[in-house]
């Protein structure tokens, strides 16, 4: 019953800021748990990336698109870096 109410467009629009804050907070908690589990060098940047991807996009479609663009940019940059070495 609660899940059905959360999918209601009126509820979602009315509480969009709260939902956005909860989504970003949950993403940061998950990222922090991963960073603490796997101690990579400079792993704190993962939290910055999470905020950059999710911070100003309150809709999940925009977040997924921005995440794909960031991944593609990282892969292209890594390939160019390896090619220049």
Q: What is the pLDDT of residues 16-74, one digit of tens each?
A: 778 788 888 998 999 999 999 988 888 888 888 888 877 776 666 666 777 788 889 98
Number of domains observed in the structure of the chain: 1
**Other CB atoms within 10 A of residue 70 CB:** 13
For residue 1, CA distances in Å to 4, 11, 41 come to 5, 14, 44
Q: Would you say residue 6 has pLDDT above 80?
A: no
Tell me which residue range forms the domain holding 6. 2-84
Q: Would you say residue 10 has pLDDT above 60?
A: no
- Is the separation of the CB atoms in 34 and 46 below 8 Å? yes
| pLDDT value at residue 59 | 62
**Predicted structure pTM score:** 0.59
| pLDDT value at residue 30 | 94
Q: How confident is the model at residue 82 (pLDDT cuts 50, 70, 90)?
A: very high
| pLDDT value at residue 13 | 60
For residue 31, CA distances in Å to 8, 21, 82 come to 29, 15, 27
3 or 76: which leads in pLDDT = 76
């Amino acid at each position: 019953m609660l899940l059905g109410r959360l999918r209601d467009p009126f509820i979602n629009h009315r509480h969009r800021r709260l939902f956005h804050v909860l989504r970003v907070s949950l993403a940061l908690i998950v990222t922090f748990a991963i960073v603490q589990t796997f101690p990579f060098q400079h792993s704190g940047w993962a939290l910055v990336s999470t905020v950059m991807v999710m911070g100003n996009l309150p809709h999940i479609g925009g977040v997924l698109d921005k995440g794909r663009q960031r991944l593609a940019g990282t892969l292209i940059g890594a390939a160019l870096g390896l090619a220049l070495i």
